[in-house]
Structure 1
Amino acid sequence: MSYTIQEIKELRKRNSLTQNQLAKRAGVSQSLIAKIESGRIDPTYSKVQKIFEALSSLENKNEVNITEVMNKKIIPSLLKEDVHSVIKKMQKHGISQMPVLDGDKPVGLVTDTNLLKKIAEVDDPSKLSSIHIKDVMEDCPPIVTKNASLKVVQSLLLHYPVVLVTEAGELIGLITKADILGKVYK
């Protein structure tokens, strides 16, 4: 993240640091911090870079880890399942979307919208048992590792309804907009 010299005081205060504490973290003097914040000095690039690196490391430490936000209880649909059983599963668990797995590999996403469209196409609801979820699902949502930043996930959620989280190729969680809003901005 890039900062301007004028933001140093605001960033320091946002991180609850005194001038002395920031100076120690950055390896500069407290008087330099005071002069920069008051606008009485035009610091060298190397000094400003040290200060910004110290502030940036604090910003990253304060960021919520996505494993704290993600929903670890994954209720998936299997590629071979029929539409009727997936609808029942979604109703039972009170969810509106499910990752679709082929074995343990995510291959798609089924949402209540996909299912509603299919129901509207079918004249006899009993036929839903003969339609496989692979014929209703949409493309697989984005997959990130558990080390991805929350900002990356937030950006993805602007375009996708869910983001899947993996560790060593194994699906370990998922994150929706509601998860972000409910756990990060409570």
Structure 2
Amino acid sequence: MQLPTPDEIKQKRTELGLTQSDLAKRAGVSQPLIARIESGDVDPRLSTLRKIIEVFEDAEKEDILVVNIMNTEVISVSPEEQVDAAVQIMGRYHISQIPVISNGVPVGSISEEMIVRSLADKKKSMVSQMIIKEMMGDSFPTVSPKADIKVVSHILERNPAVLVLEKGQVVGVVTKHDVMQLLNE
């Protein structure tokens, strides 16, 4: 077994979002000791290193919250815009659906599928000039920033995205891609 260096301990602690005080409290040691270990001023006892490593392992198993993976830049359209604006945004960002948001509140969604379906019934010029609220579908499901990723994963099984609401206002979005990115970490 290779023991972690002071730099590795500090790096792991920061990756897990733990402060020195958090780590000290969970490991049952003092914060100044953690600071001294990380700076290389003191060689910790093996039992102290074991406690620190156990804290790291426990922290890695803790639930992942939506706030930690959500995109805070929510690409959206207004219900009053023309469908052509949604088509341009979808093309620019290489996305296939967009939430429709009015004054920070989700009111619907629009997708490539909805637009293509409309083109089967109407002329191209008529569809591009339509107002989004005339075509939009239901809004994406919503969760709070403190929702667990497991909840969001289940919602994403049947929906393309989940909006994150705080005090009734959209503050983020989570897609299937965002959840899959957890595998790269």
Bin the TM-score by the shorter chain: 0.5 to 0.7
* Same amino acid, percent of matched pairs: 31
Any idea what the Cα deviations from partners look like across 1:97-141, whole Å, max 9, x if unmatched? 11101222101111111111112222x312124311112211111
What residue is the counterpart of 1:185 in the other structure? 183
- Partner deviation per Cα, 1:45-87 (whole Å, 9 max, x = no partner): xxxxxxxxxxxxx479622221221121111110011111210
Which residue does 2:69 correspond to in 1? 69
- On the 8 A contact 2:76/2:100 being kept in 1, the answer is yes
Unmatched tracts of structure 1, length 5 or more? 1-24, 26-57
Secondary structure of the 2:180 match is helix
* Residue identity in the other structure for 1:185: L
Aligned: 1:80 with 2:80: yes
Contact 2:101–2:107 (Cα < 8 Å) also in 1: yes
Secondary structure at 1:159 match in 2: coil
| 1:153 partner amino acid | V
Aligned equivalents of 1:60, 1:137: Cα separation in 2: 40
**TM-score, normalised on structure 1?**
0.63
1:90 has 2:90 as partner: yes
Q: Aligned AA for 1:110? A: I
Cα distance between partner residues in 2 of 1:94 and 1:172: 21
The within-5 A match list for 1:147-166 is 147-166=146-165
Q: How many residues align?
A: 129
- Corresponding residue of 1:146: 145
Whole-Å separation in 2 of the counterparts to 1:104 and 1:79:
12
Q: CA RMSD, aligned part only? A: 2.1
Question: What is the one-letter code of the residue matched to 2:64?
Answer: V
- CA–CA separation in structure 2 for the residues paired with 1:59 and 1:118: 49
Q: Distance in 2 between matches of 1:97 and 1:59?
A: 35
Report the AA paired with residue 100 of structure 1: V
Q: Distance in 2 between matches of 1:174 and 1:91?
A: 19
1:39 is matched with which residue?
Answer: none
> In the alignment, which residue of structure 2 is the partner of 1:133?
132
TM-score (norm 2): 0.64
Contact 2:115–2:127 at 8 Å: present in 1 too?
A: no
| 2:42 corresponding residue in structure 1 | none
- Residue identity opposite 2:169 in structure 1: E
Q: Distance in 2 between matches of 1:164 and 1:173?
A: 6
> Is residue 81–residue 131 contact of structure 2 (8 Å, CA) maintained in 1?
yes
Rounded to whole Å, the distance in 1 between the matches of 2:99 and 2:108 is 6
Structure 2 residue 184 is matched with structure 1 residue 173? no
State the match for 2:114 in structure 1.
114
Q: Distance in 1 between matches of 2:128 and 2:150?
A: 40
